[in-house]
C-alpha cells in the first residue's frame, strides 16, 4: 500500500509541475493545500468571453484519493460558490468525468462519460471551464439554477443576474 501511495504522490507531483509550467493553460493556476500533494488549490480565472461567469476568479480544491488515477478526485468550489446548475450548494461539482468508473444506476450517463484513468487534472479543469461556458441542466446539482438557466433561454435574465453577482463576489466587489 505504501508503494502505491508513493506512486500516486509521484504522479500527482509530476502532473502539478506540468500544469504549473504549461503555457497553454491560461486562466488556471494550481498549488498545494498545506503542502499536501493529494489536495490542490486551484484558481480558475474565467475569461471575458464566458457569457455568465466571464471575469470571475473562482477558487476550488481538487482532492485526490489514494487510489488515483483509478478513481476520480473531487472538485469543490470554495467561497464564493458560483450559482450554477452543476454545483451543489456546498460547492461540490457534479460533472460526469468525476463520477466513479461504474455503471450509472440511474441510467443518465454512459460508462464512457464517467471517470477514466486517462483523465488528468488538466483535462478535468478544462472540462470545468467548459461547463462554466455551457451548463448541463439534464441532471442538475442545483435545481433552481437549472430552472433559471432554462428560463434564461426564453428571455428571463434572473440566471444572468445571479451569475454576475457571483462574479462580483469572486472579485471581492460585493
What are the residues facing 39 on neighbouring strands? 63
Which among 30, 50, 94, 163 is annotated as catalytic? 94
- Asked about 94 being catalytic, the answer comes back as yes
Which helix (H) or strand (E) segment holds residue 44: the answer is strand 36-45
Separation of CA 162 from chain center: 19
- Range 146-150, long-range pairs (CB < 8 A, 24+ positions): 146/85, 149/85
Q: Classify residue 163 as exposed, middle or buried by CB count within 10 Å of its CB (0-12, 13-18, 19+).
A: buried
Please list the active-site residues: 94
Amino acid at each position: 500500500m505504501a508503494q502505491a501511495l508513493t506512486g500516486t504522490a509521484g504522479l500527482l507531483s509530476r502532473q502539478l509541475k506540468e500544469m504549473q509550467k504549461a503555457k497553454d493553460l491560461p486562466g488556471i493556476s494550481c498549488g498545494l493545500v498545506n503542502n499536501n500533494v493529494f489536495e490542490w488549490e486551484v484558481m480558475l480565472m474565467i475569461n471575458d468571453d464566458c457569457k455568465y461567469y466571464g471575469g470571475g476568479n473562482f477558487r476550488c480544491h481538487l482532492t485526490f484519493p489514494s487510489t488515483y488515477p483509478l478513481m476520480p478526485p473531487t472538485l469543490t468550489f470554495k467561497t464564493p460558490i458560483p450559482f450554477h446548475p452543476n454545483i451543489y450548494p456546498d460547492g461540490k461539482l457534479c460533472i460526469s468525468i468525476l463520477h466513479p468508473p461504474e455503471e450509472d444506476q440511474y441510467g443518465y450517463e454512459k460508462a464512457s462519460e464517467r471517470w477514466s484513468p486517462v483523465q488528468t487534472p488538466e483535462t478535468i479543469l478544462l472540462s470545468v471551464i467548459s461547463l462554466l461556458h455551457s451548463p448541463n441542466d439534464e441532471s442538475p446539482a442545483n435545481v433552481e439554477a437549472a430552472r433559471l438557466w432554462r428560463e434564461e433561454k426564453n428571455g428571463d435574465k434572473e440566471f444572468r443576474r445571479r451569475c454576475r453577482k457571483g462574479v462580483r463576489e469572486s472579485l471581492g466587489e460585493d
